[in-house]
Chain A
């Protein structure tokens, strides 16, 4: 987890918000845009762009919060709240 490189997007702080996404996925792109629009401080990582040695670790991390291991997975405050998929209403309620 520590060596996995995450991009930081500064903004309103609502605790630690982490988006696990794929660079090729449409719903991931929409989720990323929504976080930007909401202006919330967050980190994101495109798991498919990680070097192979970090890929397994990243997927395990996702599976910890979302057993399906699917994307996008949005982890709020170390898993206090986890939102899987582009659930626009839920994300707006949690981070709006």
Chain B
């Protein structure tokens, strides 16, 4: 499980990239730089361990298909930003936090427990029945971006989530 610890320069570069992509999509990173750098360090460690940047504040067994919902940015970020002004880790924060109107803290876990996740994996998610559409509609589970095309894009243009984070919506 161990590999070389990420270098400070590597962490800083990744942090900059995540911050740039966040701002482009209308999101913000936590202005507490030391705290944020530490979370990005965790993301890089997880990327080395598992091959994908799973949430540093959640446990992973290293199986991508079971962790799709917690690859950063996770499926729970947006509802948590709406309700609590921060994602579960507090890597991402709301406008109100940036303006110092509210402060961030540890929030409840929105991800369903393991037993519920297992049950959900075996079921199929609800979607509208096929209509006579020229293209299927795909939905990004992270940010809700919708597009009508034969297959989802390789990367979500809004939040940069990868293709496997999309679900068939219509």
Residues on A facing B (Cβ under 8 Å): 22-29, 47-49, 51-52, 55, 59, 63, 67-71, 84-88
Task: Pick 10 A–B contacts, CB within 8 A, sort by A.
Answer: A23-B42, A23-B45, A24-B45, A24-B56, A26-B89, A47-B59, A67-B113, A69-B113, A84-B108, A88-B105
Interface size on B, residues (CB 8 A): 25
Which single residue of chain B is at the shortest CB-CB distance from A20? B59
Q: Are A63 and B113 in contact (CB under 8 A)?
A: yes
Q: Which residues of B contact A (CB under 8 A)?
A: 1, 35, 38-39, 41-43, 45-46, 56-61, 89-90, 105-109, 111, 113-114
Which residue of chain B has its CB nearest to the CB of A58? B59
For residue A35, give the distance in angstroms from its CB to the closest CB of chain B. 15
**B39 contact set on A, CB distance < 8 A:** 24, 26
How long is the Cα–Cα vector from A28 to B57 in the complex, in angstroms? 8
Q: Which residue of A lies closest to B60 (CB)?
A: A48
User: Would B114 and A86 count as touching, CB distance under 8 A?
Assistant: no
- Max chain B C-beta neighbours (<10 A), residue from A26, A29, A48: A26
Q: How far is B109's CA from A11's CA once the two chains are assembled, in angstroms? A: 31
Contact of B59 among A22, A85, A87 (CB under 8 A): A22
Structural contact, B58 and A26, CB atoms closer than 8 A: no
Q: How far is the CB of B144 from chain A (nearest CB, A)?
A: 24
**B89: which A residues are within 8 A, CB to CB?**
25-27
Neighbouring B residues of A67 by C-beta, 8 Å: 113
Q: Does A85 lie within 8 Å of B46, measured CB to CB?
A: no
- How long is the Cα–Cα vector from A63 to B113 in the complex, in angstroms? 9
Tell whether, in the assembled complex, residue A24 and residue B108 are in contact, meaning their CB atoms are under 8 Å apart: no
Residue of B nearest to A67 (CB): B113
A27 with B59, Cβ < 8 A, contacts A49-B1, A68-B109, A85-B107 known: no
